[in-house]
Amino acid sequence: MKKLLSFGRGLLTALALIAGLALWAVAPWPVLVGLAALVALWMLLTRSGQQAASVAGVGISTLRQRLGSSSVVVIGIAGVVAVLVAMLSMAEGYRQTLARTGSADTVLVLRGASAAEVMSTLDLASINVIEQAQGIARGPDGRPLASPETVVAANLPIKGGAPDQDGSVQLRGVGDRAWLVRPQVKIVQGRKFETGKREVVVGSGAQRQFAGLDVGKQIRLGSEQWTVVGVFKSGDAMDSEVWADAEMVAATYRRGASRNAVVAKLTSAKAFKPFKAALAGDPRLQVDVTTTADYFAKQSEGMTTVIRVIGIVVGSIMAIGAVFGALNTMFATVATRAREIATLRAIGFRGLPVVVAVMLETMLLALVGGLIGGVLAWAIFNGYTASTIAGGVGQLTFDFRVTGELLWSGLKWALAIGFVGGLFPALRAATLPVTSALRAL
Amino acid sequence: MKYFHLIWAELMRRKTRTALTLLSIVAAFLLFGLLDGVRESFDQAGNSANGAKRLQTGSRLSFIQPLPMSLNDRIAQVQGVKQVSYANWFGGAYQDPHNQIFSFAVASNYLDLYPEIQVDKAQRKAFDETRTGVLVGAQLMQRFGWKVGQKLPLQSTIFPNSDGSKNWNFDIVGTIAAADKKTGGWYDQMVLLHWKYFDDSNPYNRGQVGWYITEVGDVNQADRVAKAIDAISANSDHESKTQTEAASAANWMKQMADIGLIVGSIMGAVFFTLVLLTGNTMAQAVRERTSELAVLKTIGFPDRSVLMLVLAESVLLLLIGGVVGVALARLMGPIVSAGSRGAINIPPISGHSWALALGLMVAIGLVVGALPAIRAMRLNIVDALAGR
């Protein structure tokens, strides 16, 4: 019967713990502040709270004697949080770079069922129809703000790679409208390319990634030599591209008058629905219309999910390891302080303050670990530049982004690990038989 | 080994502590098993004996630029070439353009160059005879629940069909599987269709080829053959670039992500924490047993034996936890692969990974045990027995 009771109690504790963790996982930061305030009030205003505070004070003041074993909890949790935050910041940086590229009032028109710009083709007739559609904003010259563009993948030598080791870059052939449709793209060095010449401007990300993209240098794209005449910055995915005159790119890659896509600026985000309906209803066209915001969000979806899943799987496995490490340390702590705890209980301290004291100590260690891990991840990885193949076409450079949101979720993980790692040792401390603990050496 | 029961007794002295430490070690090596599998699969892509014998010839302009059909016969005449085949991207997607599937339109002799792709003889014959036939990777079949003999509607995200729509209909005539699960993760995930059918039905292709695959008779000739193939189209408007399959796969992987660096950093953090944690456990264990170790010395155990006892204990601890962890990774790998619907492919753990894992277990065990073991070795019997 006794065995059954204790088993039942253990089971209930475990179930309550799982439910609590699930709630905790979705909690925003004010919850933490609220909980901390509640605990502080309880400690100040009630008798058992004051007892808990004094016991916790004793435990925390003796932490220095247990520095070695306590640092295991701190460093274990710091490791989990650092790895987790670093992985998630990679996903976040990638997502943000692509998300910034699009907006709700610019549209991308591709041939039907194309997964990416590179795979689409639009002939001259279709382009003319699209440009005249309702809802496209007009430029200062009264012409529609629509930019037909050629997008190809070109090979360029990678910086620091072996000779003859090529990487893939997205080369965009554009006309004069492209600069109006994408006002965020600014020339930061040199000048724009001239129409009808084999000149290119390169994005700052592409310049970092590939060799020889400096102003005044010659590069080989296709079977021709081109001159780099400028560098542009846009702060989004365009940064990884190389831009040149649409006619010249089409000639080099034998595209004739066809283009890959039309990017257009609408009069407002509200104009999207009628614009889409108009193109869908036009018998001369077979096109897909998306806002650029949607298009780039979709592009980043798969990759972001994969990185996040990997981060969370890795983090969870590490967290399980850290929980066992914390349990180990806290059980040892409770064992070494068994006499002290038993003495407290013998002179009238109840179980709850003892439990809270042990829990608080673990949570404090976890908090320190979480902060160290978060700061480490932020110091090393915030703004760290990486690149990957995006949309199966060209290298995309992006920066890791350690946001406040991510640091908060890292801290949540840390506190959860501390909670689980402290709970069972705390319960043991409160249920130690007083007499035998007092006799313990 | 005759002291094994002693070591065992030491481990079992505090069952809770040993169990918790073991579980931390299991977690660390579970992670190692999973991540090292991923790293290996990236490293090994195209890196088989067959991969070194195959050359891939693509356009020098860009990997999406096709090459003319006329190259086929000219490549076949290059000295040292055993056979030539060619393929095209098809860019297939199932039901939704974003549900993309590795799909290639391949020449009739394509499979002859890939002995590591297993196809049932009768199914291969059916594929050769069915114009609209496709062979589908075993994992894809499972993922979508397709059956041999059914029709398979795919959208191409690149090429329209003869009727101008993107919808293509195929017949599944067989399955393909990788002979070697370690390096062939890709083969289980792809769809092969006939280049002939693709070229006939697609108004844009007009006899062009995405890339050529060439098998060379002698691996040492691969470089020379590659140069000779590229010389054929030098200074034309369709210059080519030829690499061994291994080099081109490695190049792609490198552009995807620096997996080695990511895995290395994560494992560094994990093992650093693990060393600290087990080190702490071992230090505690030796501290607790000071008087017992002194007794051992009193009854005549030499210093070196005491050192070995403690070292053996920590190495054994790591070996038990580590082996269980890697074995768990072996079990979990397929579950993770299935759970991510093929997005993350974790191959079975190779002998190489096992060896690395065992080496790490022993090394970490020695590092962790070193300090406590030296302390135990240098114990002064009188002081230790007096509890000073």
Summarize the confidence of residues A175-179 as an average pLDDT. Answer: 91
Summarize the confidence of residues A181-194 as an average pLDDT. Answer: 92
Closest residue in chain A to residue B96, using alpha carbons only: A113
Residue B191 has pLDDT above 60, yes or no: yes
Mean pLDDT, chain B, integer: 84
Residue A154 has pLDDT above 60, yes or no: yes
Residue B181 has pLDDT above 70, yes or no: no
Residue A373, min C-alpha distance to chain B (Å): 11
- A194 burial class (0-12, 13-18, 19+ CB within 10 angstroms)? exposed
Highest mean pLDDT among A37-46, A75-84, A113-122: A75-84
Q: pLDDT band at B1, cuts 50/70/90? A: low
Residue B149, min C-alpha distance to chain A (Å): 27
Other Cβ atoms less than 10 A from the Cβ of A93: the count is 24
Summarize the confidence of residues A431-435 as an average pLDDT. Answer: 83
Rounded Cα distance between A151 and A240, Å, is: 13
Tokens 């079949």, residue located = B141
User: pLDDT tens digit string along B144-156?
Assistant: 889 998 999 988 8
Closest C-alpha to B151, from B130, B173, B171, B167: B171
Domain ranges of chain B: 3-44+259-386, 62-238
Rounded Cα distance between B315 and B83, Å, is: 53
Report the percentage of chain B scoring pLDDT > 90: 19
Residue numbers in B near A241 (CB within 8 A): none
Q: pLDDT band at B324, cuts 50/70/90? A: very high
Residue B310, min C-alpha distance to chain A (Å): 19
| Contact with chain B for residue A253, Cβ under 8 A | yes
User: pLDDT tens digit string along B102-113?
Assistant: 889 999 899 888
Residue B2 has pLDDT above 80, yes or no: no
Residue from A67, A318, A400 to probe the interface with B (highest B Cβ count within 10 Å): A318
The confidence score (pLDDT) of residue A217 equals: 92
Residue A57, min C-alpha distance to chain B (Å): 25
Chain A residues 159-198 within an 8 A CB cutoff of chain B: 165-168
Among the partner residues B30, B166, B277, nearest to A317 by beta-carbon distance: B30
What are the beta bridge partners of residue A152? A171
Is the four-CA dihedral B145, B148, B152, B156 of positive or negative sign? positive
Summarize the confidence of residues B65-79 as an average pLDDT. Answer: 87
3-class SS of residue B83: strand
The confidence score (pLDDT) of residue B185 equals: 57
The confidence score (pLDDT) of residue A296 equals: 86
H helices present in B175-302, as ranges: 195-201, 222-232, 245-256, 259-288, 290-298
- Greater model confidence, A154 or B345: A154
**Token pair listed for A145:** 């703000």
Closest residue in chain A to residue B262, using alpha carbons only: A87
Chain A residues 378-417 within an 8 A CB cutoff of chain B: 386-389, 393, 395
- Greater model confidence, B48 or A319: A319
Instruction: Report pTM.
Output: 0.82
Cβ–Cβ below 8 Å for A286 and B20: no
Cβ–Cβ below 8 Å for A222 and B28: no
The confidence score (pLDDT) of residue A203 equals: 93
Residue from A328, A388, A397, A428 to probe the interface with B (highest B Cβ count within 10 Å): A328
The confidence score (pLDDT) of residue A386 equals: 83
Q: pLDDT band at B323, cuts 50/70/90? A: very high
The confidence score (pLDDT) of residue A415 equals: 92
Closest residue in chain B to residue A68, using alpha carbons only: B280
Cβ–Cβ below 8 Å for A168 and B272: no
The confidence score (pLDDT) of residue A147 equals: 93
Tell me the residue type at A149.
E
Rounded Cα distance between B51 and B71, Å, is: 22
Residue numbers in A near B166 (CB within 8 A): 112-113
Mean pLDDT, chain A, integer: 87
The confidence score (pLDDT) of residue A441 equals: 54
Residue A244 has pLDDT above 90, yes or no: yes
Residue numbers in B near A331 (CB within 8 A): 16-17, 20
Half-sphere exposure of A54 (CA within 13 A, CB side): 9
Cβ–Cβ below 8 Å for A115 and B251: no
User: pLDDT tens digit string along A36-79?
Assistant: 888 888 888 888 888 888 888 888 888 888 887 888 889 989 99
The confidence score (pLDDT) of residue A357 equals: 86
Summarize the confidence of residues B136-147 as an average pLDDT. Answer: 86
The confidence score (pLDDT) of residue A262 equals: 93
Q: pLDDT band at B341, cuts 50/70/90? A: low
Residue from B42, B60, B61 to probe the interface with A (highest A Cβ count within 10 Å): B61
Residue A14 has pLDDT above 90, yes or no: no
Residue B207 has pLDDT above 60, yes or no: yes
Residue B295 has pLDDT above 80, yes or no: yes
Summarize the confidence of residues A204-211 as an average pLDDT. Answer: 90
Among the partner residues A71, A254, A328, nearest to B17 by beta-carbon distance: A328
Among the partner residues B62, B239, B280, nearest to A68 by beta-carbon distance: B280
Say if residues A87 and A307 touch (Cβ distance below 8 Å). yes
Summarize the confidence of residues A243-268 as an average pLDDT. Answer: 89
Closest residue in chain A to residue B235, using alpha carbons only: A223
Summarize the confidence of residues B366-374 as an average pLDDT. Answer: 90
The confidence score (pLDDT) of residue B98 equals: 67
The confidence score (pLDDT) of residue B32 equals: 92
